[in-house]
Amino acid sequence: MTNFKLTPQQIADYHRDGYLIVKNFLSSDEVKKLHGIAIEDNMMRKHSFDLNDQSGKRTKLALWYTPGNDAYGLLSKSKRIIDSVNELLDGDAPVCHFHSKLMQKEPKVGGAWEWHQDYGYWYKNEFLLPEQMISVMVAITDANKQNGCLQVIKGTHKMGRIEHGFSGEQVGASQHYVDLALKTMELVYVELKAGDALFFHSNILHRSEANLSENSRWSLISCYNRSSNVPYNEPSNSSTIPIQSVPDEALLEWETSGLQESANFLEKEKDEALK
Ligand SMILES: O=C(O)CCC(=O)C(=O)O
């Protein structure tokens, strides 16, 4: 989808619900290219690591901070994403790319993610302004109930930050507050077709269940911040470096290589809190 622009209705929906699904955000050729690279890219494989959920099931991901001119970098820097993020975030300082993750939930083994707010992690990094942070998930394969699609509790971004503790190797939100939210707020299974995108607020409660199906569930999640929202406990500086967007056509038309070491990957040993 080139020349993409969010409508006033989509912007209002995002602010009301805390998330927004955009169908067919990528064309089938774009998805094909990203999928092909994801399964063949040695750099991605080399830097992927496992994360255990509470039950010990593993989920695989690679996380990097600096988007280059590889296919994934061109997507996370694309005008359609940067302009949309700019519309949805509070404030007017430049948009920065905090990090991107390729989530690789393998058939039968891909583990769960506990209920959390992304800002439950980012608060620990001492970012002060959750309204200036957002995540964008792009489905590289179909995501459905069977293969552990994302679930959100609609409207929970309005609850503010909830206490988080450790849960396996992840950080999880207070179950008490999750249970209270579920009394009145709707749990939504975010089923996506490959190429669909989900924009979600840093304070929306979300989780996903294990992938017990025969099909993998892969997605790219890119997280953005405004340069004005300086973190005081975050070793990478990506979240305050303004991003120069590239034309949407770049993903298909520019010559791309695989991911490079210069993407600045997170190595799990060094990691204290994941995000
Ligand atoms: O990809 C998933 O299943 C969940 C990922 C997630 O919750 C996150 O990255 O914050």
What are the chain's domains?
Answer: 13-270 (2.60.120.620)
Largest CA distance in the chain: 51
Nearest to 265 by CA among 102, 57, 62: 62
Please give the model's pTM, rounded to 2 decimal places. Answer: 0.95
Q: What ligand 1 atom has the least distance to the C-alpha of 112?
A: 3
Q: 145 CA to middle of ligand 1, Å?
A: 14
Mutate to test the pocket of ligand 1, among 98, 103, 118, 164 (most ligand atoms within 8 A of CB): 103
Give the model confidence (pLDDT) of 175-201 as tens digits. 999 999 999 999 999 999 999 999 999
Q: What pLDDT, on a 0 to 100 scale, did the predictor assign at position 183?
A: 98
Q: 113 CA to middle of ligand 1, Å?
A: 6
Give the model confidence (pLDDT) of 125-137 as tens digits. 999 999 999 999 9
CA-CA-CA-CA torsion sign (206, 270, 111, 166): negative
Average pLDDT of the residues in 150-175: 91
d(CA 13, CA 8): 9
Q: Whose alpha carbon is nearest atom 1 of ligand 1?
A: 103
Q: 135 CA to middle of ligand 1, Å?
A: 10
d(CA 223, CA 133): 7
Q: Whose alpha carbon is nearest atom 5 of ligand 1?
A: 113
Residues 27, 1 contacting (CB under 8 angstroms): yes
Residue 41 is encoded by which pair of tokens? Answer: 């890219």
Average pLDDT of the residues in 48-74: 90
Contacts of 8 (CB under 8 A, 6+ apart): none
DSSP helix/strand/coil, 160: coil
Q: Any residues with Cβ below 6 Å from ligand 1, and which?
A: 103, 113, 118, 150, 206, 208, 219, 221
Nearest to 217 by CA among 50, 57, 105, 51: 105
Distances (CA, A) of 251 to 88, 104, 203, 246, 265: 23, 21, 30, 9, 21
Q: Which of 67-81, 85-99, 224-238, 249-263 has the lowest mean pLDDT?
A: 249-263
Residues 77, 206 contacting (CB under 8 angstroms): no
Q: What pLDDT, on a 0 to 100 scale, did the predictor assign at position 217?
A: 95
DSSP helix/strand/coil, 8: helix
Q: What ligand 1 atom has the least distance to the C-alpha of 148?
A: 3
pLDDT cut 90: percent of the chain above it: 79
Summary mean pLDDT of the chain: 93
pLDDT range class, residue 1, cuts 50, 70, 90? low
Q: 232 CA to middle of ligand 1, Å?
A: 24
d(CA 109, CA 112): 9
Give the model confidence (pLDDT) of 25-38 as tens digits. 999 999 999 998 88
pLDDT range class, residue 259, cuts 50, 70, 90? confident
> Locate tokens 């669909």: which residue?
196
Which one-letter DSSP state was computed for residue 264? Answer: -
pLDDT range class, residue 42, cuts 50, 70, 90? confident
Average pLDDT of the residues in 116-141: 97
Q: Whose alpha carbon is nearest atom 8 of ligand 1?
A: 118
Q: Residue 271 above 60 pLDDT?
A: no
Average pLDDT of the residues in 97-101: 97
Q: Residue 154 above 80 pLDDT?
A: yes
